[in-house]
Amino acid sequence: MIIPPPGELIRDSLIVEKRIAAETRRRLNADHYATVRPTRIPDLEEDGWVVDTRNKKSVRMRKPKPHDVAFEDRVWATFAKLGFTSLNADRHMTIRYGQGESDRQQIDVFAADQDVILVIECKSTTEARTSQFKKEVELISGQREGLLKTIRKEFPQHKVKFILATNNFGVTKPTSERIASADIVHMTDDVIDYYLALAEHLGLAARFQLLGNLFAGKKIPNLDNKVVAIEASMGGSKYYSFSIEPARLLKMGYILHRNKANSSLMPTYQRLVKKHRLKSVSKYVDSGGYFPNSLILSLEGGKRGLRFDPTSKSSGQTRAGILHLPQTYRAAYVIDGQHRLYGYSDSKRAETDLIPVVAFVSLSRSEQMRMFMDINENQQAVPKNLRNTLNADRLYASDDLREQAKAMKLTLSQNLGEDRTSPLYGRVLVGEDTKTPLRCLTIDAVSRGIERGGFIGSFTKNEIKELGTFYRGSSDATCDALFEYLRLCLGRLADRLDSQHKLGSAEGGFVFINNGVESVIRLLGDIVRHLGTSEPGYDPRSTSPSVLFEDSIVYIDSLADHLESLDPAEALQYRRMYGSGAGTKYWRRLQQAVSEAHAEFSPAGLAEYLEDEEKQFNDESRDMINEIEAFMKGDVRRRLEDVYGSEWFRSGVPRDIRVEAGKMMIERNADRAADAQLSEWDCLYLVNYREIMIATDKIWKDQFEKRYTRPGEEQLAGGRRGRTKWIVKANDLRNDVYHQRTVSNEDHEFLVSLYTWLVKGLTDNDL
């Protein structure tokens, strides 16, 4: 690397401001580009370059950037997008930290605005792995004072932060705490991507979100903090009502976005700002529009509270006066109205308009979340998965032991999806994440596995009813230990079942889906209970997670051996397990597999379950047949009504079926109350629906062929009768079920396939 000669000013290494936009576009590109003479093509192609475009006398070629360069460029571009106008021009910038000739440190990214300087070290890896970053932390700590001395010669009033930006690395909790204790901010690639996206949404106003994170509680320079306000109280909480220019509020405002980048910061609850809504708000206010409803804030009051100077005597429970707003970053949390506020970020009226505000004082995060949920439940429904995410934060420190237990399960489920060291990282749908083949696990499913695994236990409001195998007296102690155990065990299984881990819910995947992960976690609970009774004095609650994991490996490996040995048809049985009992069936089969490999492993209830398994097939088969009949009853009628209108029964049902149905109706209604009488249509069976469908070739082709031909049987011999033989088989199974004859595993799977296709309308890829 080229080291500039000592004595250069920092400003000499910065890019010219007018070139930042073009440089940002270049850095955000995944490829390097070069325009060369055509004669150089062969040499460059040998070095990995490919032709992009051909010109008359030259050729434009491109080559993918190395991963470390691409990440460093993305970090640089992120801070450029955030509005930092003093940035290093290239990768060769150095800053002196000592008196020696070589006492200069190369700087990956240097970003400064009028108040703040960020010195950023970037680290990237191609394959996800964990690192302690010992060398990097020691290097920054050792050079900090020397670097600050040099920086302050040119930027004496700026606040300075040192940042370690990492790509594809996971860090353990101790490592994270060690980085923070060295006064270094750690930003993962999730955090970088969050701020890059936020800059796209908010423009330069996104910088205030960043500054709020980096300098929470630090003074904002030159901020006029006085407003005329009315003081009052509501629901036992003090609040102030006032109007303020959006430009002032943007500087101190902060939004707790529900995002992986913020999940470790504090309880968060807000949806990410929608760009199209910002544009519409900005356009609306620039055209003279206004919003009469108030923003809802929580102002940080500090230990002494906010200063309020009354200007008149109180009138009832209110009084007017001058409110001194906090002059610090991240002092005003926006509970409701983020789009209205940030819609002004690109508006020429941000400095002159006044927006109404209702500001509560020092609400706790749980109180903020409760208020957010109350507001949004009455406006835009909060999706269940987002409610789970919010409750994980809101209930974690509750005085109610039941709420604590619920929050622990939700928090663990969320952390397994958000911690880079977890094999489920990026797999759990958190907040309002979008479902993908890999991100396919719900918080509910993972939480059920933890609950049914017996790790935490059960509680009344104030007392422990049943002590869980991992409960260690507090939420933090329990969650830390259980997270580590689950991380290690699930990691072992993911390593052994690498192809399944990579599939997720894509076709062929049957382990790392909701039923699979829930059942594996439940099985781990069985293993912990077994270990706790395997030898005197062995107590999982006082045993380290790493020791428990080592003792669990033999059982986890037997589970992996079983799942690896399954042929495609057997794997499909796991994937297609249907209904409310599917999780239990999946779990019991896993128990059975481990028990067959280790005779001493005999979980409670397994033997009885296996004895009753045939009966369970009958119960589930009856449920599926009932739903198949109900579906066909409604669907066939609707299709007949589409053709024959009010005469659908007389014209669409063959005469012999109508006659038999009429006789049965009279017989069944003989002892029924007047308000419970059946119609002829209520007295048909599955085979009757088949005869209606195939009554004529025309009605079959026009109304029923496409919907009632099973996938893969489009060319089946026998025409419409051949393609509907499945209905005859289903009808026979219905008779078996209702006459208490045993349903075989094969027949049960047949019904599962029918139910999945016909009632749920799903293919394998949807499961």
Q: Given pLDDT bands bounded at 50, 70 and 90, which one contains residue 376?
A: low
Query: Final residue of a domain: which of 382, 413, 446?
Result: 382
pLDDT band at 16 (very low <50, low <70, confident <90, very high): very high
Per-residue pLDDT, averaged over 505-509, amounts to 93
The one-letter amino acid code at 367 reads: E
Residue 659 pLDDT level (bands cut at 50, 70, 90): very high
Task: Say which CATH number the domain at 156 has.
Answer: 3.40.1350.10
Same domain membership, residue 323 and residue 369: yes
Beta strands in 131-254 (DSSP E): 159-170, 184-188, 226-234, 237-244, 253-254
Of 544, 577, 604, which residue is a domain's last? 604
Q: Do 268 and 415 belong together in one domain?
A: no
pLDDT bucket at 393, cuts 50 / 70 / 90: low
> What's the pLDDT score for residue 407?
87
**What is the band of 361 on the pLDDT scale with cuts at 50, 70, 90?**
confident
What pLDDT was estimated at residue 262?
45
| pLDDT score, position 515 | 94
pLDDT at 626: 92
State mean pLDDT over 368-382.
61
Mean pLDDT along residues 583-590:
91
pLDDT above 50: residue 716: yes
Judgement on whether residues 292 and 338 belong to the same structural domain of the protein:
yes
Residue 50 lies in a domain: no
Q: Please name the residues in contact with 597: beta carbons below 8 A apart, sequence gap of 6 or more.
A: 558, 561, 562
Range of the domain at 314: 216-382
- Give the residue-averaged pLDDT of 578-583: 74
Are 284 and 367 part of one and the same domain? yes
pLDDT, position 373 = 65
486 with 572, same domain?
yes
pLDDT digits (tens, 9 = 90+) for 523-559: 999 999 999 998 888 999 999 999 999 999 999 999 9
Q: Is residue 394 one of the residues assigned to a domain?
A: no
482 compared with 253, residue with greater pLDDT? 482
- Most confident region among 1-15, 37-51, 604-618 by mean pLDDT: 37-51
Of 604, 632, 663, the residue that ends a domain is: 604
Whole-angstrom distance, CA of residue 292 vs CA of residue 622: 58
Q: Are residues 161 and 87 in the same domain?
A: yes
Lowest mean pLDDT among 23-32, 362-371, 521-530, 589-598: 362-371
pLDDT category, 330, cuts 50, 70, 90? confident
- Residues 673 and 698 occupy one common structural domain: yes
Residue 211 lies in a domain: no
What are 155-207's pLDDT values in tens digits?
Answer: 998 999 999 999 999 888 899 999 999 999 999 998 898 888 888 777 766 78
Selected residue with higher pLDDT from 406 and 744: 406
Q: Is 245 in the same domain as 362? A: yes
610 belongs to a structural domain: no
Task: Flag whether pLDDT at 347 surpasses 70.
Answer: yes
Query: Does residue 623 sit in the same domain as residue 649?
Result: yes
Mark whether 566 and 645 lie in a shared domain. no
**What is the full DSSP assignment across 389-431?**
HHHHHHSTT-SSHHHHHHHHHHHHHHHHHH-TTSTTTTTEE-T
pLDDT of amino acid 594: 96
184-188 and 159-170 strand pairing: parallel
Residue 157 lies in a domain: yes
The stretch 460-482 carries a mean pLDDT of 92
Q: For residue 52, is it within any domain? A: no
Judgement on whether residues 533 and 644 belong to the same structural domain of the protein? no
Q: Is residue 4 part of a domain?
A: no
What is the per-residue pLDDT for 652? 94
Per-residue pLDDT at 172:
87
Q: What angle do CA 404, 408, 411 make, to 5 degrees?
A: 130
d(CA 196, CA 11): 25
The SS3 assignment for 12 reads: helix
Query: What confidence tens digit (pLDDT) does each residue in 751-761 have?
Result: 988 988 888 77
pLDDT range class, residue 264, cuts 50, 70, 90? very low
Could you tell me what percentage of the chain is helix, strand and coil, using 3-state DSSP and rounding each to the nearest 5? 50, 15, 30
d(CA 47, CA 638): 66
Tokens of 321: 């006066």
Lookup: tokens for 702: 């026009």
DSSP helix/strand/coil, 66? coil
Q: Are residues 235 and 312 in the same domain?
A: yes
**Is this structure's pTM higher than 0.75?**
no
With 50 as the cut, is the pLDDT of residue 267 above it? no
Name the domain count of the chain: 4
* 396 in any annotated domain: no
Answer whether 410's CB lies under 8 Å from 389's CB.
yes
